[in-house]
Chains A and B, each alone.
Chain A
Amino acid sequence: MKKSALLLVAVLGIGGGALFSVPQPDRFPHAKHAGLFPSCEGCHSGVTSGDTTAVYSVTPETCAGCHNGTVQPEVDWAGPSPPASNVNFSHAEHPPAPCALCHEMPDGAAPMEIQRANLPSCLTCHAPGAEEHQAAGVTCSKCHQSLGEATTLTVDQIALFPQPSDHEVAGFLSTHASGAAEDLTRCAVCHTRDSCQRCHLNADQISAIQDLPRDERVASLTADRPGRWPKPASHGRLDWNETHGAPANEAIATCANCHAQPSCETCHGDAGPVVIRELPVPTSDGPQGVMFAATGPPGHTPDFKTQHRSAAVAGIPNCSTCHTETYCADCHDGPSSPGFHPVNFVARHGAEAFATESECSTCHSSEAFCRDCHEGIGFAQGGRSGAAYHDATDSWLIGHGRAARQNMEACVTCHQQTSCLRCHSAKNGWRINPHGPDFDPDRVADRSEMSCAICHFASQLD
């Protein structure tokens, strides 16, 4: 309790001082005139009468009655000027109360040792139970004008506005919309539309923000301050990259609080999902929204370049949201520009071709692409026996069957069918049977007897 009291004093001392009153250098020196005026009403008759012009009835002429250079020295006091304040208070409208209730004097103080209005005394009635005057649940507008109405406050004074303690609670930025919806007037005491536009790219779409006025003083304060976009809990999920499409489609307006079109274009490119076009386009002098360092499009696993088959066929993610069909042809249909393979790929492609990590024939015709090049460069010499290319073993011809069964795709890149028919044909060759143990001739013949006829006479097929 003691701690709270200290906090209260501190807050009231700093915050209350700024919000409720602004020190006036031209205050009337009440203490010096103690005993001269028996009651407050003599000078402040308007407080009780309701005559607002008579709240401060003392004028320089009144002073000159004594301070005429004869009775008392002349003074150069112009009288009180209206305090710069956003306090929404009228003595006349306030229920009658003893002056000391609010302007209480410390113990032992002289009779006219007047204090500024004491905030805790306001809370006694206006926010019973509140430990401090900016606490959540306290209706600010009960005592304070909106910032738009408080035209006498200067930029410097506004800059000193204290931050309510509930604004410092973790997650406040993510949840403040509900508070604003419940009581926008509370927000309006300290904020104008300019405050919200510092972060909200979609400020012109949010009615609560549009209900706030513009204010040049706040605009000058927020001009150089970057926006803050806290990461919602949902975005922290590890699968958010893969799954954010559905919620974005359902409620793109929510995304627009923090994201502009460039946010999405980082990964989706400028031909991304149509819904992205519903996001705001940032202006050069406005907030830019959340920007990403690209980590890869959603759903694109690390080996996606070579392993995108099921994703593309099943349609998760939908390729067409980012890519035109031409994009597929760039790689799959005989590349017209380097891209898929590194520039030095040809010099080392042999090992990768043997390994068939990616199926070469998906994009390249073994006959008209690979063999055409291998023949042209001299590797393939028509597959003649004794050609000396496979010189790793003296027994290559005897043992080549095993290598061929394991690497048939590689064989085809140099050898025509006639190379093999020389020995394996039952028509004109040595009738060496090349068929493996699981070969089902009927099954093949049902679909293409012509392929059987390359090696066999019709009579041999019966």
Chain B
Amino acid sequence: MKVHWLAGVALALAVLLGPECLMAQGYRGEFRVAGSFLELRGLERDSLPEGVVAGDGIRRVLDDGTIVSCIPGEFCRWFASVDEEESISVVTQDLSLIAWPGIRGLSANVHLRGRYGTDSFWPRSSQELDAVTAYLTYDRADFRFRGGRIARTSGLGYYNFDGGSVLWRGLEPVRVEAFWGWGLARGLNATRDGDLLEDADDFAPDKRARIAGFDVNARLGQTVSGTFTYQREMRTDRAALYTERMAFDARALVDRVTVDFSADYDFAYDEFNELQLRASAPIAAGVRVAGYARHYEPYFELWTIWGAFMPVGYTEGGGTVLWSVPGTMLNLEGGGAYRSYEETDAGAEFLGFEEDGWRAHGRARFEHRGWFADGIYRAERGSGAARYGGDLTVGYEFAPGTYLAARGSSTQTFSEFRLGEQVTSGGGVEGAWRIGDFSLTGSLSGYSLSFDRARVSDWTQTRGHIGLAYRFGSNIGGGEGGYR
């Protein structure tokens, strides 16, 4: 079992704080254990010598209908499902604890996660213990100090790092927060020079990152607020930057209209990765509309070469209408969007790849005396793939947090760069049972795939999940309320 050194620190912190917590002014936490299993068949590449395959050209068809790609003088290759199903099981354990040890303004926050799995194809299922967060906070008057493994959310996303931050509120309604430390890879909660990236890429970084940056937030009353964020991550040997970005986010409540603006900018490639203006407003009793315009460019860290390929983004506009039918518990929702990709300047127009895309969805939710039904249909088509399909869930809620439901779904998928049309259909049951501070969740489902090609991926699969959560403490909070 691999135990990261920070997890050890976090454990020590938990042990040290543990007895203190028992006597603390307040504490609350949650313990969760969740297990999942999945059975499906993977893919393997197969081949025949080019000379034994009848026909000419790159694409040929075998006698059984299998489409193969041939390189003259070499091999004809294709992908097909392996004969045997693989099965994996993953168990995760989470312990989150926040405690106020009795010193005014001081609190401790720990979130530990253990993973125990079959270490098969499912990502991050190897056995390890990880500290998602483990930090102390001292919050007094105009300042808030925080140190440890900190989770930060900003316009640039969700980042964890080992270090400290200082928040200053001396110029209310302006707040300034500065942070620094050793950064962790985004979406990974692990160092960039660790095994996870090293195993995944031949050019993975060999040095950790130092992270530094600041936020400035300014509010205008209760209805207007904006936050500017600057953040950079540098190799610990100072030889290069991994990232240098900034973001600006604002929200304004103007009369009945909620206006959101988001932007984030990459200094290295001089590009706005996200520019979005979104507005939402109730226009009549029970009716709310939202519309947006967005420009998106993918973003890559500087330890990769992907950004230098100058990937292009798209510009999109869309909207949503939500209608809560008066006097009923029926919610109807509909929406759509259209996007257009930028010119790639890569030539090969003759291939006729998609240059624009659209998506639409309709949804209906209904609740009556414990019964609920939720149906959604989505259609989207764009560069790379298209899909059309829907889900329907029908269930009964016996009490808040306790329900049983059946779910069915069917999705038709087209891949632009790969031949064939596949339909994935299936269903299952799911449920939850809350007894006091305990809650038990579970689901079991099966999906089958039909593909209009021979000997290719059989995506038929069986899935199961079971989870147990226990909340404890003086003020058990999870923000669930009565809102499903």
Contact = CB atoms under 8 A, between A and B. Distances in A.
Residue in A243, A310, A348 whose Cβ sees the most chain B Cβ within 10 Å? A310
Interface string B218-261: 01001101110100000100011110100101110101101011
B424 A348 contact: yes
A2 interface: no
B479 A327 contact: yes
A315 B58 contact: no
A388 B68 contact: yes
B18 interface: no
A365 B244 CA distance: 18
B67 interface: yes
A324 interface: yes
Interface residues of B, number: 177
A160 interface: no
Contacts of B113: 336
Given A239-B282, A386-B71, A406-B383, A293 B329 contact: yes
B320 interface: yes
Given A314-B227, A371-B200, A356 B479 contact: no
Interface string A428-462: 00000011111110011001111110110000000
Interface string A306-338: 010111111110000011111111001110111
Contacts of A450: 235, 239-240, 302-303
Interface string B456-475: 00010101010101000001
A399 interface: yes
B42 A378 contact: yes
B240 A329 contact: no
A435 B309 contact: yes
Contacts of B292: 307
Interface in A393-414: 393-396, 398-399, 401-412
Interface string B332-368: 0101000001001111111101000101000000010
Interface string B377-406: 000101111110101000000000000000
A357 interface: yes
A417 B482 contact: no
A222 interface: no
A309 B155 contact: yes
Interface stretch (A62-70, A121-129, A173-181, A267-275): A267-275
Nearest to A375: B121
B367 to A, nearest CB: 8
A299 B201 contact: no
A269 B476 CA distance: 10
A98 interface: no
- A: contact size bracket: 35 or more
B294 to A, nearest CB: 10
Given A315-B225, A379-B43, 16 more contacts: A292-B482, A314-B217, A316-B251, A334-B188, A336-B94, A337-B441, A355-B384, A356-B298, A359-B274, A363-B158, A368-B124, A368-B199, A393-B417, A408-B306, A412-B304, A450-B302
Interface in A355-379: 355-357, 359, 361-365, 367-373, 375-379
Contacts of B244: 447
B256 A350 contact: no
**Pairs A-B, 6 closest by C-beta atoms:** A271-B477, A376-B121, A436-B310, A378-B43, A354-B384, A399-B348
A386 B222 CA distance: 59
A377 B121 contact: yes
B417 A394 contact: no
A296 interface: yes
Contacts of A329: 96, 111, 132-133, 151, 158
Contacts of A267: 481-483
Contacts of A373: 121-123
A360 B380 CA distance: 17
B415 interface: yes
A330 to B, nearest CB: 8
10 contacts: A239-B282, A324-B478, A326-B98, A355-B357, A378-B45, A404-B346, A421-B305, A444-B268, A444-B269, A444-B302
